[in-house]
Structure 1
Amino acid sequence: MTSTNQVILYGRWEQPRTSGLFGRTWGETIFAGAWIVVTVLFYMFTHSLILILIFFLIGTAVFVPLAYRRHGRSGLELIAMRLQFWKGARRGENVYRGGVFGVVPGSARMPGIQGDTRLYEYELGRGGRFGLIHSRAKNHFTVVLSGQPQGQERVEQHQINDWVRGWDRFLSHLGTIKGMAGAAVIVETVPDNGHRVDAEVRRLVDRDAPAFAQRVMVETVTHRASAKVRNEVRIQLTFTQQRTADSAEVADQGAAIGRLLSTIINQAVAAGLSARPLTAGDLSMVAARAYRPELAAELETMAGSGSLDQLQWDQIGPAGCKAEWGRFVHNGFQSVTWEMEAAPAGTVAHDTLLPLLAPRADLGRKRVAIIYRIHGVADAVKMVDDDFKNALAAEQSKKGVGSAAASLRVDNTMAARQEQARGAGVTRFGVLITLTAEASAEMPTLAAELEGLASASRLTVQRCWGGQDATFAGALGLGVLLPEYASVNRRVTA
């Protein structure tokens, strides 16, 4: 085996975090120091042991939840999430009714943070059209590309290695674009009942064609592959307001973003992706199929006949839905979303996520969203330098086994600094996994199956307790960047 055909391993990712005294974060260290100083000063002025004891207990009640960690979150963050969900449920904010029974009769917008988005469509300079999603709350503009990835065909390993390097260059290129807020790759497994293929074949068949040719086309549909599910791949590109646009109006922003798409699509080709922008009708179909899965067959027929333009963005939401603590119920279906708690330990190969991404008939509605937060060059330099300094501080404050882990973190952050200096980009990433099934399905069984696939892909995942509706929207790849909607102050997060 030549070196060009060797399987390359990837790794060295680190979660950015600050390091204070005794392995705590800087926020916890500063709070503890201020707490001690204030306690001493309070005693100097009051000389009351009872008041000092009360003050000490109050400080302890704040510091312990702040220092406590569970599934990557601090205790204060968990308490805040529980209180926010309880408060919203008490007000009825977790229940949505659309359509005839909605607050606005006849309107069926998508619920929650996705409902504030608006959809537009513009022309590309080289021909064709693309849909543009405007998230008004954050003034974000999102374009979605449909991708046809390669890699499972019988190709040489060196070609796969080139595609992976091409994807690295693609992400690095996004970091050079002014106003790039984030990106996501969504691999969605959807039922394939053949309606789309049937409608497409009927559209292509010419009535004046020879009878034999028509019969061959009909048999193609009749004897098509018996696959019950298929994968669709989308790439979400979210921009902030473009300064190169003529104005802040949506139309001018769409024109500026449209000028960037041809270069972005060409960069995707080097990563083995044949990408094209989704139109407004395509985006409406994706949203309608997610919130109203019972319409999947009808939507496939519309896609095959080219009539997706009939869909309206403010009419594709569910007739009703409810966000529960551990699941999202919508239109007679239930969805559960998990998030990546920790990245794979050690190094991985290019096909590590294959068990999770591969379509399976028993998990017919599954969505895996890999979310990227792109950083510009200036921010990247500051991030890698800060990570390296924090890693050094953590190494100096630990001993024994903890010191070995801290030393490994120093090596990883040092390697990141060197790679960034050579031109590599810096990107934070996370994963959201959504599983949708009928309301009568045994979700605990399906959930255990999906968690097993995540484990086989070396991902540590946890259910998104208390935020199922928001994470469902965030995993769709339709313009929602979840970190921008965080409801817990970053100072108390882990």
Structure 2
Amino acid sequence: MASDRDALLLYGRWERPRSTGLFGMNWGVTVMAGFLVIAVIMTFVFTQSLPVTGVLALLSVIGMAPLVYSRGGRTGWEMTILRLQFSWAKLRKQTIYRGGVFGQVPGSARMPGIAAGSHMYSYELRDGRRFGLIHYPSKNHFAISLAVQPQGQERVDQWQINEWVAGQGDFLARLGASRGAVGAEVVVESVPDAGARVGAEVRRMTDPNAPAYAKQVMAETVLERGSARVRSDVRLTLTFAPLREASSREVADQAAEIGRRVSTLIVAAAQAGISAAPLSAGELCIYPTRAYNPELVTDLEKIAGTSESDDLRWTGTGPITAEEGWGEYRHNGFTSVSWEMAAPPAGQVPSDTLLPLLAPRMDVPRKRVTIVYRIHSTADAVKLVDNDFREALAAEQSKRGVVSASASLRVQNTNAARSEQARGAGLTRFGMIVTATVPAGDDIPTLRSEIEAMGDSARIGLRRCWGYQAAAFAGSLGIGVVLPEYATISGKFGA
């Protein structure tokens, strides 16, 4: 007989934060509409002219239409601004990148776009393990990445899975209680595997003086993995703002304080079934190099986990050539397309709901799913959950007649978030970026259908990143880029 802890738990109650005004508009649009109405009335009072008032009223309606109309989670105003920004960047040839020794950008092959100004440093933890620290001077953010070995759920009791999920929630709550943490990224990447990584590891482990039979067994292990297949590569990236506990704002002092915290967080991650180890500077260089230069996958797999990876440099991780399109990103003879999460799963879902999207597939061998968490401190969490509850309550009370079920459910969810936060739970806002890469010339419509079908199976609403494919590509790499910090469109008039 199964106990209660063996029951399959469902998870949900996530709400998109938004400010609700009149007639379903947000408060920014409501306030602007109010000003325009007052302007029309005052114009008639002072001019006593119906034609002048009518023209102003018509212009006001035309100006408000893009703010009220929305499609696919974007208002007409947002879509217009995106198109204008992209067209202006294309006109100035800012969507084209040429690296290399003879390129227009100094350096061998730096990453383009928002990651171009980042720097890599190498430091040690207390136990002697080295870790790479990425610094973004423009935002003064520091990022560290951990290689993760997930336990998987095959032949695992349900109660153990439930405890792992609870442990993950505790891990995120601990990040929120840790002052200075601003974000976390979990990257699940599917990459082609021709056995080079296994071969390199077997050669490293094989003793030259071992018996011939033992060497034969090890060699057969490599042969069994000789045929091309796809494997998953998982890592966790933590992003910090400058820590006040550090002795100064210098990078070395910040790295020392981050190293102390990461050692504790690694132990906390183990309680969630996550076996994590810090990535050295050379190992961390492999991931953006592999993403921007997919043709180097086999060569990079051979040096992964060896001292040869220390020869990689952060200034050489980018492509030699890249060009951003409205709906795709072309780099080094490959084309990448990125999607973002437009809507979380509707209703409650089990812990394995993302499995159709995360599982490696031979028909999409290069795929990267990045779950982005925005970490909020305890003080900020109190303000946010209270504000979300007030907004939900105002939206419900503004409805006349029969209140919609969605409005009532939003009030229940935000109130539950307040109660849980008061009992010690953390507040984390999350999103998702999905990037797929194929050789240039492949059928992009088929790729789109495959990825969006995976999202539907995982009950995730995916929306293509129109007009910011290069930024989405960099944000999905798991190198500490917090995309909302680089936003160029105000959210006051968003959907």
TM-score range, shorter chain: over 0.9
* Aligned-partner Cα distance in 2 for 1:391–1:261: 37
TM-score, structure 1 normalization: 0.97
Cα distance in 2 for residues equivalent to 1:341 and 1:128? 39
* Deviation sequence 1:360-407 (CA, Å, 0-9, x none): 111100000111111111111111111111111111122467522211
**Could you say which residue in structure 1 is the equivalent of 2:112?**
111
Higher mean C-alpha deviation, range 47-56 or range 309-318: 47-56
Instruction: Give the equivalent residue in structure 1 for 2:165.
Output: 164
Q: Tell me whether 45-54 or 263-272 shows the greater mean CA deviation.
A: 45-54
Residues 401 and 256 of structure 1: CA distance in aligned 2, closer, same or farther (over 3 Å): same
In 2: Cα distance, 1:446 partner to 1:317 partner: 24
Distance 1:102 1:402, change over 3 A: farther
Displacement, 1:227? 6.3
- For structure 1, which segment, 224-233 or 356-365, has the greater mean C-alpha deviation from structure 2 after superposition? 224-233
**Any idea what the Cα deviations from partners look like across 1:429-464, whole Å, max 9, x if unmatched?**
111100001012212112211111110000111110
Deviation per residue, 1:235-290 (Å, 9 max, x gap): 11000011111211111111111110111101100100000111111111001000
Say which SS state the counterpart of residue 86 (structure 2) adopts: helix
Report deviation, 1:42: 2.3
**Aligned-partner Cα distance in 2 for 1:401–1:444:** 43
Question: For 1:243 and 1:269, how far apart are their aligned partners in 2?
Answer: 27
Distance 1:223 1:354 in 2: 26
Does 145-154 or 458-467 show the bigger shift? 145-154
What do you get for the CA RMSD once the two structures are aligned?
Answer: 1.4
Deviations 1:192-232 (A, max 9, x none): 11111111211222222222222222122122385601101
Which residue type is aligned with residue 249 of structure 1? E
Kindly provide the CA deviation profile for residues 336-363 of structure 1, in whole angstroms up to 9, marking residues without a partner as x.
0001111111000010000110111111
Cα distance in 2 between the residues matched to 1:88 and 1:209: 61
State TM-score, norm by structure 2: 0.97
Task: Please tell me whether residue 29 in structure 1 is matched to residue 62 in structure 2.
Answer: no
| Counterpart in the other structure of 1:250 | 251
Q: Which residue of 1 aligns with 2:127?
A: 126
CA contact (8 A) 1:197 1:304 kept: no
Corresponding position of 2:4 = 3
Structure 1 segments of 4+ aligned residues over 6 angstroms from their partners: none
Structure 2: tracts of 5 or more residues without a match? none
In the alignment, which residue of structure 2 is the partner of 1:74? 75
Q: Map 1:55-204 onto structure 2 (within 5 A).
A: 55-104=56-105, 106-204=107-205
Does the aligned pair in 2 maintain the 1:198–1:304 contact within 8 Å? Answer: no
* Matched AA of 2:110: R
Are residues 158 and 132 of structure 1, via their aligned partners in 2, closer, same or farther at CA, if it must alter by over 3 Å? same
User: 2:462 aligns to what?
Assistant: 461
Equivalent pairs counted in the alignment come to 494
Query: In structure 1, what residue type is equivalent to 2:316?
Result: Q
Matches of 1:490 and 1:188 in 2, distance apart?
30
Higher mean displacement: 406-415 or 160-169: 406-415
Structure 1 residue 105: Cα displacement: 5.4
CA distance in 2, matches of 1:27, 1:104: 40
How far apart are 1:428 and its partner, in Å? Answer: 0.7
In 2, Cα distance between equivalents of 1:202 and 1:150: 25
SS of residue matched to 1:473: helix
For residues 175 and 10 of structure 1, the distance between their equivalents in structure 2, rounded to whole angstroms, comes to 20
State the distance in 1 between where 2:453 and 2:402 align: 29
Q: 1:401 to 1:452 in 2, by over 3 A?
A: farther
Q: Does 172-181 or 211-220 show the bigger shift?
A: 211-220
Question: Percent identity, aligned pairs only?
Answer: 55
- 1:310-347 deviations in whole A, cap 9, x for unaligned? 11111121110000000000000000000111111100
